[in-house]
A = this chain, B = another copy of it.
């Protein structure tokens, strides 16, 4: 699957080279979570990795290129998010559980990949196709099975057929993504983090089924 790892000038990287490369990626990830994206410099990353800027440029064209690498790694991990929706039931009480677990799982994933997702989101918003595609991969991993679930319910007459399934799923995933991104904002509105799930989960349930959540 993973093609040969190559340096910028075309050589194939050996064992030691891959280690160095990985160390650079790790340090970059670390830097991203501690300083503003705009201020992340190659020289800092190199220093932290105990190597020189020249080495960095051997493996990556620039900071953005390395960030893309990290982002793609994360996008691969995001397949695990499918499990939050696939094969789950939306009927009655179990629907409540499904929506709660979806909210929980999604927020956890976002929090885990906080820093890199911030940069991906920015890149996507700025119109960069590569970042946009990565963001899509992550969100689609939930949005697609969710849209399928809505279509299923519509077919069984258990959900509002007038709603576009993909639009519903997209809106709900956006809601989750945005809530995940700005958890700090909620506290300033006097909302405790623990209030977030009880609020989001019913919204998801409502969006999917078109019915008020049972209690």
Cα A163 to Cα B202 with chains together (Å)? 10
Cα A208 to Cα B125 with chains together (Å)? 29
User: Is A195 at the interface (CB under 8 A from chain B)?
Assistant: yes
User: Is A75 at the interface (CB under 8 A from chain B)?
Assistant: no
Cα A190 to Cα B178 with chains together (Å)? 21
Residues of A within 8 A of B (CB): 36-38, 64, 118, 121-128, 132, 135-136, 139-140, 143, 147, 162-164, 166-171, 174-175, 177-179, 181-182, 184-186, 188-191, 195-196, 198-200, 202-203, 206-207, 210-212, 215
- A171-B196, A178-B181 given; 12 more Cβ-contact pairs under 8 Å: A37-B122, A124-B182, A127-B184, A135-B182, A163-B199, A163-B202, A171-B175, A171-B179, A174-B182, A174-B185, A206-B206, A210-B212
Do B170 and A189 touch across chains, with their CB atoms under 8 A apart? yes
CB distance from A43 to the nearest CB of B (A): 16
Quick one: closest B residue to A191, CB to CB?
B167
Query: For residue A162, which residues in chain B have a CB less than 8 angstroms away from its CB?
Result: 215
Do A169 and B185 touch across chains, with their CB atoms under 8 A apart? no
Query: For residue A185, which residues in chain B have a CB less than 8 angstroms away from its CB?
Result: 124, 132, 135-136, 139, 170, 174
A167's partner among B124, B163, B195 (CB-CB below 8 A) is B195
